[in-house]
Amino acid sequence: MADEPAFTIESRPQRKYDRAGRLSYEGTMIFRLEPVGGLSDSALRKHLDSVLDDGPYQYGDFLDLPMVVYLVNDEETGDVFRASIRDGAIRLHVLPETESAGLRQCFERLQDHTEDGWNVDSQTTTSGGRSGKL
pLDDT at 85: 92
Contacting residues for 132 by C-beta, under 8 A, at least 6 apart: 123, 124
Confidence bin at 3 (pLDDT 50/70/90): low
Closest among 90, 81, 86 to 48, alpha carbons compared: 90
Closest among 92, 47, 84, 44 to 67, alpha carbons compared: 84
**CATH architecture for the domain at 14-125:** 2-Layer Sandwich (3.30)
Q: By mean pLDDT, which of 4-13, 33-42, 53-62, 121-130 is the weakest?
A: 121-130
Cα-trace Rg, the chain: 15
Closest among 30, 37, 33, 62 to 48, alpha carbons compared: 33
DSSP 32-80: EEEETT---HHHHHHHHHHHHHHTTEEEEE-S--SS-EEEEEETTT--E
HSE, CB side, 13 Å, CA atoms: give it for residue 111. Answer: 13
27 Rama sector, left if φ>0, alpha if ψ -120 to 50, beta otherwise? left
Residue range 51-74: mean pLDDT, rounded: 82
Confidence bin at 124 (pLDDT 50/70/90): confident
What are the domain boundaries of the chain? 14-125
Query: Full-prediction pTM beyond 0.75?
Result: yes
pLDDT at 132: 45
pLDDT digits (tens, 9 = 90+) for 13-35: 888 888 888 887 888 899 999 99
Confidence bin at 133 (pLDDT 50/70/90): very low
Confidence bin at 57 (pLDDT 50/70/90): confident
